[in-house]
Amino acid sequence: MLLLKFLVFCSLLINWGCLGIPSTALDETSWHSDAFLRNGGQRTKPKNAVSDKEISDTALKIWNSVKDLNVQYDGVTHKGKPLKLFTENQRTLRLDPYFSRLFGFYNARLGVEDPCVRTSACKDAQNSFIENISQDKGPISILYGFLSEKGIINGKIKDFRESLKTMWFEPYNRSGGVLDSSGFEHVFLGEIRNNAVKGLHNWMRMYDEELGGRFVLTRDGNYFPTAKPAVSDVSFTWNGFKKKGTTFFMKKSPAVETALYTLCFMVRRGQKCPIDLGSFQLDVQTFARNGSKSLIDTAYPIFPRKTKAY
């Protein structure tokens, strides 16, 4: 009886090293994606722990795999006009069609079921988006190669694509009722809850919303964007609702962002994921939905710890 009580007690304290098991040993299992396993992958024991340097090296390959988009940021007031995130000559910028096609399938209001839940056209758009960002030698291909080499996943690229769909697009409940959210919607598109903006960490979405008059940059941000750092931190109102401070990558494609966030989710989920990209250093923070290993709750960059010339 005493032994049983001791074992139960240990199960509650095991992350503190009960029975002499270090937390790092337990963390190894968290690197495996449950979604990948469900979709055809096989669990394998990691060959080595993933070091910060390996994360940075892989992140740098992902970062450089797609050329930066020619985006000019403003962040200043012109003759009494409202503050703008993007310059006036950027008003006709063409967005990634696979990415922007998804905008219309989601309702930003939490508590309202997303149209995507019951729309086959949305599933088709999701499939097209994942297929497009998973092209050979692209960001997702680089990520897949690294995770396979480290023994974190074991399966074909098509299995990994299915895992990505689950991680990013599987609908879940964020408000206590209907299926009103997903990792993709929260991170890339933004949501509204209790009269406040949640998520929204993507410049393309901000561009499209500013163009439509729904996104208004405000003056009380921690930083205003410039062309030099590759991450910005701004405050804004969206559809009349405020968010005081949100971070996002600048000039990067959705493929690069998805790959970076997924990398950190799979190897540093729930922790700061340190990335040294040469010109600057930053952390990426990811969290799983309600402790799940397969559903992304949120992901965002943390303003660079050290910035050099970019």
Single out the catalytic residue among 32, 84, 150, 243. Answer: 243
Single out the catalytic residue among 32, 186, 198, 293. Answer: 186
- Catalytic residue status for 32: no
Q: How far is CA 141 from CA 131, 137, 257, in A?
A: 11, 5, 13
- Catalytic residue status for 201: yes
Q: Which residue, among 159, 122, 161, has the nearest Cα to 138 in the 3D structure?
A: 161
Single out the catalytic residue among 198, 201, 252, 293. Answer: 201
- Provide φ and ψ at 193, rounded to 5°: -145, 135
**DSSP code at position 189:** I
Q: Please state, in angstroms and rounded to a whole number, the distance separating the CA atoms of residues 220 and 224.
A: 9
Q: How far is CA 230 from CA 35, 171, 266, 279, in A?
A: 31, 30, 23, 9
Place of tokens 């040993």: 25
DSSP string, 200-249: --BHHHHHHHHHTT-EEE-S--S----SSSSEEEEEEEETTEEEEEEEEE
Q: How far is CA 87 from CA 77, 97, 178, 303, in A?
A: 11, 21, 39, 22
Q: How far is CA 221 from CA 83, 232, 245, in A?
A: 12, 10, 6
Q: Please state, in angstroms and rounded to a whole number, the distance separating the CA atoms of residues 193 and 10.
A: 39
- Catalytic residue status for 78: no
- Catalytic site residues? 186, 201, 243
